Amino acid sequence: MTDTVVKDKGAVDKGAGNVADKVADARSGGAAGLFGALGGGRSSVTWLTLLGLAVVLPVSALIWGGGWHDGWTVDLVAPLDSFADWVIANRDSHPLFLYFLLHISNFATDSVDAVSSLLTSLGWVGVLALATVGAWYAAGAGRRGLRVAGVTVGSLGAIGLMGLWDPAMETLALMIVAVAASALLGVVLGLAAGLSDRVQSALRPVLDTMQVLPAFAYLLPFVLIFGTGTPSALLTTVIYAAPPMVRLTSLGLRGADPTVMEAVTSLGASKFQRLRTARLPLARKEMLLGLNQTIMMALSMVVIASVVGAGGLGENVFTALSRKNFGMGLAAGVAIVLIAVWLDRVTAAAGVRSEAQPGRKAPAPGDGRKTALIAGGGAVAAIVAGQLVQREWPEAWTFDFAEPLNRFMDWVVGAFYTDVPVLGGTSEWAGNFTTWVLNPVREGMLAVPWWAMVLLAAAAALLVGTWRGAVTAAVSLGAVGVLGVWDKSMHTLSQVVVALAITLLLGFAIGILAARVPVVERLLRPVLDTMQTMPQFIYLIPVVQLFNAGRAAAIAAAAIYALPAVVRITAQGLKTASPATLEASRSLGARSWQQIVQVQWPLARPALLVAVNQGVVLVLAVVVIGGLVGGGGLGFDVVEGLKGSELGSGLIAGVAIVCLGLMLDKLTQPTSRAAASPASGASGK
Amino acid sequence: MNKRIIRRSAIAATGVLSLVALSACSAAETGGSKGGDKTVRLHTPSWVGAEVNTAVAKELLESELGYKVETKQMDETPAWDAMSQGKIDAILEDWGHPEEVKRYVDGNKTVVAAGDLGVVGHIGWFVPKYVVDENPDITDYKNLNKYADLFKTPESGDKGQFIKGDPSYVSNDNALIKNLKLNYQPIEAGAEATHLAQLEQLYKAKKPFLTYWWTPQWMNATIDLVEVKLPEYKEGCDADENKVACAYPEVPLKKWMNADFAKEDSDAAKFLKNFNWSTEDQNLVAKYVAQDKMSSEDAAKKWIADNEDKWKAWLPK
């Protein structure tokens, strides 16, 4: 089960929670991987390969010169542009649109409008009270539900106080429809994958690809077909958010306790009865976890969805960007975080409740009915109350905290931008960093001939994983060359590599600190939670102000975004390293540093690998968005495709990003071998 | 309880699916304006100057003509696309989109012209005043190579750095740099927001920069930029986008409408055709918003209260 759960981006996108389980799973799945390969039994082969590459790369660069073979490219820009023209000319008349795609589009618009007007007609009191009652009931009613109900009142109330009630409701409407659609799609596909091995093995590569796919890369086709607006926003969100639901539903079905299944079968239950009475109820916990992750991933799309015309909080973030109003953007970002916290707590509490249920004796008759009655009564009261009070959030109850935030940011930028004594300023740092790190790395990558780069990717993937991984990595990199964007891809890749190195360095350092000093961890937790749910776009203006538009700014934004996941996984990994072993080493007189290097680090290896893999995926996603702050490369092409009319080159850049993502995933993801190992093989069936 | 829930969901899902399947037999609505209701949908662009056009028009349509106005924020090219599909009714400030005009106005005739906005746009290359004070001859493009070192940054390597604007804005910069044989490296700011943030930051630190810039632009109230003279613009010299070697033309900013919306000739359509104000007016309202941090709604109300004689003329007779 290792690979199924660990790889979900949502696992880290979401706040606190299940990382620890997953890391534990990862460990049981086998400690193979880069670190394993470097230090493990195959070390002589590994070192020989590395030595060979160390010789081949510079020599080939000197002899052949860099870049892709000129004749081997396929120019797809012109055909894609004319395809785009065809779509635009025909989308109001062609049967494919009239009888299929437009139905989807209209259905999406109508459902979001319906939910939105429902929320409006409930009034703010109605929504707040209904949400509270709902949260209380979902968390198991009684005393246990009170805390979650409190969180609900607190977060929704805070959103109202910030004066963001209306956009928040608009966002919520889109989220409700998107999550419902993702959950439905996820359950259907998950059922299929859970019950049929053939579907499972067909779906897996698709899901793997989807999660290394930066959402930014596939906005464009949707805009082309559906235009901007609700349908595009909804569909991109659904595509991004559905995979965890599929994976976890399938996982839950496959993980059903064999003894229970045997018992049910021996009672003569038919296949459908078995599914309904045993498998589905047993998979409930996983399915709720899947729902939780789906919600978190959908929320992380709020701002990106507003690039293609969804309104709500995402639009507030964008307006704030265009006015350089950092405080306003941050306020909207905080509102998104609050919605995330609220929904996370509610679904997590519901998950805990369902876990408790099987162990419980049959519930006292009437008990469930009583709470349901109370909840129902509360809901009715909420709706009535909502109608009695004015529907809009009262304006007097809002507080503007954008201004103080802006003043603070101005102060930070003013104080650190340049001419700080001794240290220099952020502007100088960025300059030196570009000159001494980024430029050499990029020039180096461009100087090496393409076949040497492909060889390097294949060799690295082989050392980390399997033959299949190596082939995938090599083919992906080759595809980038064939598409004719080799140089741009190297430009982007160099940024990803450097940003990843920085993120890992900082992340491991902070993670080690957090694992050893409990106070640091406690202080860090809320900060990390916020950073993970906060939309990346909010960092863009401050990083430009501090580091100037360019690659350094893009890398800073990427590092900030990916850091929390890496810190968290590192800390969890080190902490869960067997306490007994640690105690033993301590009693043998090992010092702190020795403990870390010789005991905790090796034991935490699988967790660290997960951290590296997550880091890669997250960094790639933001380096692409870095096109907005002068990062250039593939990200800029996608931005230009979205904003200007360069659809063809934008689409190609999107495909190239996907290829880079697949390659990087194979270089850092040892799952294929782990899956073959006995530990996970058993649970995978 | 689980059983019941599952059974009910299955029934519900089947119902929904069969409904969808049924409805799929008929052709879908292609969207667009559903006539009759008094709702107008306007484009809100990403830059403040044009945002206040929309804000003032919205305020007047709602308070004077009794319409309900929905505003939709999006980039320019997508907005053209949305207008052709009737998802928005009008764009109030357009800096020139020859490709879209060809595709939607001359092509499938879904968009029609709605007159001038009254504001005249000007695009060019600019440097800060403090740079000109020290190097007076920098304002001629012929001398730019001499000063390339001044604009060198780590990002531009051994060339001078030229900061480009938002990728959706009209731009010939790459061609200009190439065709005028300038030793400069164009750097994409990527978005207007980052472009502005970058310029403001450099200006505060009194660092030299050369950039794509335009008027009207609300930031001109706080930063003092001087234009660099490019070879004079002559009719047609920018016909081939790869061979451009002349300045940008003056752009009388235009308004466009969805063809069906214009044909209905409602009060709203008449009003939007009449909408016409000066660069000064627009800059003033934009300053209220961007610098004084008023909401665009309040800024529009303030201007409307102060300028009754101007907007009275826009109302349909």
DSSP code string of A308-368 = TT--THHHHHHHHHHTT-HHHHHHHHHHHHHHHHHHHHHHHHHHHHHHHGGGSPSPPTTHH
pLDDT at residue B277, rounded to an integer: 92
pLDDT at residue A182, rounded to an integer: 94
Q: Which residues of A touch B99 (CB under 8 A)?
A: 645
Q: How far apart are alpha carbons B93 and B96 in whole angstroms? A: 9
B282 closest CA partner among B92, B129, B103: B92
Cβ–Cβ contact A440 with B under 8 A: no
Longest pairwise C-alpha distance within chain B? 84
Q: How far apart are alpha carbons A54 and A16 in whole angstroms? A: 41
Which chain B residue has its CA at the smallest distance from A418's CA? B205
Q: Which residues of A touch B72 (CB under 8 A)?
A: 229, 309, 311
B21 versus A152: the higher-pLDDT residue is A152
A633 closest CA partner among A620, A644, A643, A645: A620
The least confident of A63-67, A82-86, A511-515 is: A63-67
Q: Mean pLDDT score of chain A, rounded to an integer?
A: 78
Q: State whether A549 and B76 contact (CB < 8 Å).
A: no
Average pLDDT over residues B299-307: 94
Cβ–Cβ contact A550 with B under 8 A: yes
Q: A306, A321, A643: best mutation site toward chain B, by most B Cβ within 10 Å?
A: A643
Assigned token pair, A225? 């077909």
Average pLDDT over residues B267-294: 89
Phi, psi of B224, rounded to the nearest 5 degrees: -105, 105
Which among A98, A431, A642 has the least Cβ separation from residue B28?
A98
A473 closest CA partner among A483, A463, A485: A463
pLDDT at residue A492, rounded to an integer: 92
B299 versus A64: the higher-pLDDT residue is B299
Q: A85, A288, A322: best mutation site toward chain B, by most B Cβ within 10 Å?
A: A322
Q: Which residues of A touch B20 (CB under 8 A)?
A: 103, 107
Average pLDDT over residues A246-269: 82
pLDDT at residue A493, rounded to an integer: 92
Assigned token pair, B211? 């950039």
Asked whether the predicted pLDDT for residue A618 surpasses 90, the reply is no
Asked whether the predicted pLDDT for residue A364 surpasses 50, the reply is no
Q: How far apart are alpha carbons B173 and B162 in whole angstroms? A: 9
Residue-wise pLDDT for B170-186, tens only, equals 888 999 999 999 999 99
Residue tagged 């209701």 (tokens): B37
Neighbours of A268 (CB within 10 A): 7
| Angstroms from A625 CA to nearest CA on chain B | 9
Average pLDDT over residues B279-297: 87
Average pLDDT over residues A505-519: 88
Q: How far apart are alpha carbons B4 and A233 in whole angstroms? A: 34
Which among B168, B188, B204 has the least Cβ separation from residue A632?
B188
A368 versus A515: the higher-pLDDT residue is A515
Average pLDDT over residues A515-520: 85
B232: DSSP letter: P
pLDDT at residue A186, rounded to an integer: 92
Q: How far apart are alpha carbons A148 and A157 in whole angstroms? A: 14
Q: State whether B189 and A630 contact (CB < 8 Å).
A: yes
At residue B134 the predicted structure's pLDDT band, cuts being 50, 70 and 90, is very high
What domains lie within chain B, and their CATH numbers? Answer: 39-120+252-312 (3.40.190.10), 121-228 (3.40.190.100)
Measured torsion, CA atoms of residues A577, A580, A584, A586, in degrees rounded to the nearest 10: 60
Angle at B68 between CA B63 and CA B69, to 5 degrees: 100
Q: Which residues of A touch B87 (CB under 8 A)?
A: 227-229
pLDDT at residue A335, rounded to an integer: 92
Which among A322, A414, A626 has the least Cβ separation from residue B192?
A322
Cβ atoms B251, B122 nearer than 8 A: yes
Q: How many residues does chain B have?
A: 317
Q: State whether A100 and B204 contact (CB < 8 Å).
A: no
The least confident of A68-72, A334-338, B208-212 is: A68-72
- A30 backbone φψ class: left, alpha, beta (φ>0; ψ -120 to 50): left
Which among B2, B46, B167 has the least Cβ separation from residue A639?
B167
B112 versus A357: the higher-pLDDT residue is B112
Which among A85, A105, A630 has the least Cβ separation from residue B188?
A630
A37 versus A424: the higher-pLDDT residue is A424
Residue-wise pLDDT for B157-173, tens only, equals 889 999 998 887 888 89
Q: State whether A227 and B187 contact (CB < 8 Å).
A: no
Measured torsion, CA atoms of residues A94, A100, A105, A106, in degrees rounded to the nearest 10: 100
Q: Mean pLDDT score of chain B, rounded to an integer?
A: 85
The helix/strand/coil state of B224 is coil
The answer for A 322-351 residues in CB contact with B (under 8 A) is: 322-325
A67: DSSP letter: B
pLDDT at residue A39, rounded to an integer: 43
Angle between helices A486-516 and A467-482 (to 10 degrees): 140
| Angstroms from B316 CA to nearest CA on chain A | 31
The answer for A 226-255 residues in CB contact with B (under 8 A) is: 227-229
B212 closest CA partner among B125, B122, B95, B96: B125
Which residues contact residue A577 at a Cβ distance below 8 angstroms, ignoring those fewer than 6 apart?
A: A599, A600, A603, A604
Asked whether the predicted pLDDT for residue A672 surpasses 70, the reply is no
pLDDT at residue A12, rounded to an integer: 37
Q: State whether B191 and A628 contact (CB < 8 Å).
A: yes
Asked whether the predicted pLDDT for residue A357 surpasses 60, the reply is no
Q: State whether A427 and B194 contact (CB < 8 Å).
A: no
Asked whether the predicted pLDDT for residue A253 surpasses 80, the reply is yes
At residue A17 the predicted structure's pLDDT band, cuts being 50, 70 and 90, is very low
Q: State whether B167 and A636 contact (CB < 8 Å).
A: yes
Cβ–Cβ contact A424 with B under 8 A: no
Cβ–Cβ contact A319 with B under 8 A: yes
pLDDT at residue A645, rounded to an integer: 64
At residue A220 the predicted structure's pLDDT band, cuts being 50, 70 and 90, is confident
B87 closest CA partner among B118, B28, B42: B42
Q: State whether B82 and A89 contact (CB < 8 Å).
A: no
Q: Does ipTM come in above 0.85?
A: no
Which among A92, A324, A643 has the least Cβ separation from residue B77?
A643
Which fold would CATH assign to domain A2-67+428-684? Answer: MetI-like fold (1.10.3720)
Q: Where are the beta strands (DSSP E) in B129-168?
A: 160-163
At residue B255 the predicted structure's pLDDT band, cuts being 50, 70 and 90, is very high
Asked whether the predicted pLDDT for residue B62 surpasses 90, the reply is yes
pLDDT at residue A28, rounded to an integer: 39
Q: State whether B2 and A281 contact (CB < 8 Å).
A: yes
At residue A367 the predicted structure's pLDDT band, cuts being 50, 70 and 90, is low
Alpha helices in A139-229 (DSSP H): 142-161, 165-195, 197-212, 215-226
pLDDT at residue A644, rounded to an integer: 67
Cβ atoms B268, B40 nearer than 8 A: yes
At residue A525 the predicted structure's pLDDT band, cuts being 50, 70 and 90, is confident
Which among A89, A227, A308 has the least Cβ separation from residue B87?
A227
The least confident of A477-481, A616-620, B260-264, B278-282 is: A616-620
Q: How far apart are alpha carbons A670 and A677 in whole angstroms? A: 11
- Delimiting residues of CATH 1.10.3720.10 domain(s) in chain A: 2-67+428-684, 166-336
pLDDT at residue A362, rounded to an integer: 44
Q: Which residues of B touch A626 (CB under 8 A)?
A: 190
Cβ atoms A481, A469 nearer than 8 A: no
Q: How far apart are alpha carbons A409 and A326 in whole angstroms? A: 8
What single-letter amino acid sits at B209? F
pLDDT at residue A360, rounded to an integer: 44
Q: B162, B194, B210: best mutation site toward chain A, by most A Cβ within 10 Å?
A: B194
pLDDT at residue B253, rounded to an integer: 92
Which among B72, B77, B103 has the least Cβ separation from residue A309?
B72
Asked whether the predicted pLDDT for residue A593 surpasses 70, the reply is yes
| Inter-chain CB pairs, A–B, below 8 Å | 183
pLDDT at residue A1, rounded to an integer: 34
Phi, psi of B188, rounded to the nearest 5 degrees: -80, 120
The answer for A 182-211 residues in CB contact with B (under 8 A) is: 184
Q: Which residues of A touch B100 (CB under 8 A)?
A: 645
pLDDT at residue A22, rounded to an integer: 42
Asked whether the predicted pLDDT for residue A243 surpasses 50, the reply is yes
Asked whether the predicted pLDDT for residue A246 surpasses 60, the reply is yes
At residue A174 the predicted structure's pLDDT band, cuts being 50, 70 and 90, is very high
For chain B, how big is the Rg over CA atoms in Å?
Answer: 24
pLDDT at residue A347, rounded to an integer: 85
Cβ–Cβ contact A430 with B under 8 A: yes
Average pLDDT over residues B101-116: 89
Q: State whether B193 and A540 contact (CB < 8 Å).
A: yes
Q: How far apart are alpha carbons A648 and A86 in whole angstroms? A: 13
Q: State whether B157 and A439 contact (CB < 8 Å).
A: yes
Q: How far apart are alpha carbons B79 and B75 in whole angstroms? A: 6
Residue-wise pLDDT for A429-443, tens only, equals 888 888 888 888 888
User: What are the b/e assignments for B116-146, b being 16+ CB within 10 Å?
Assistant: ebbbebbbbbbbbeebbeeeeebbebeebee
HSE-CB at A335 with a 13 A cutoff on CA atoms is 32
- B266 backbone φψ class: left, alpha, beta (φ>0; ψ -120 to 50): beta
Q: Give the H/E segment covering residue B251.
A: strand B251-258
Asked whether the predicted pLDDT for residue B18 surpasses 90, the reply is no
- Percentage above 90 pLDDT, chain A: 10
A370 versus A167: the higher-pLDDT residue is A167
Q: State whether B154 and A431 contact (CB < 8 Å).
A: yes
Assigned token pair, B188? 């994409």
Which CATH number fits the domain A166-336, given the four candidates 1.10.3720.10, 3.40.710.10, 3.40.50.300, 1.20.1420.20? Answer: 1.10.3720.10
Asked whether the predicted pLDDT for residue B145 surpasses 90, the reply is yes
pLDDT at residue B14, rounded to an integer: 63
pLDDT at residue A671, rounded to an integer: 52
The answer for A 40-99 residues in CB contact with B (under 8 A) is: 85, 88-89, 91-92, 97-99
Q: How far apart are alpha carbons B180 and A194 in whole angstroms? A: 64
The least confident of A376-390, A618-632, B31-45, B216-230 is: B31-45
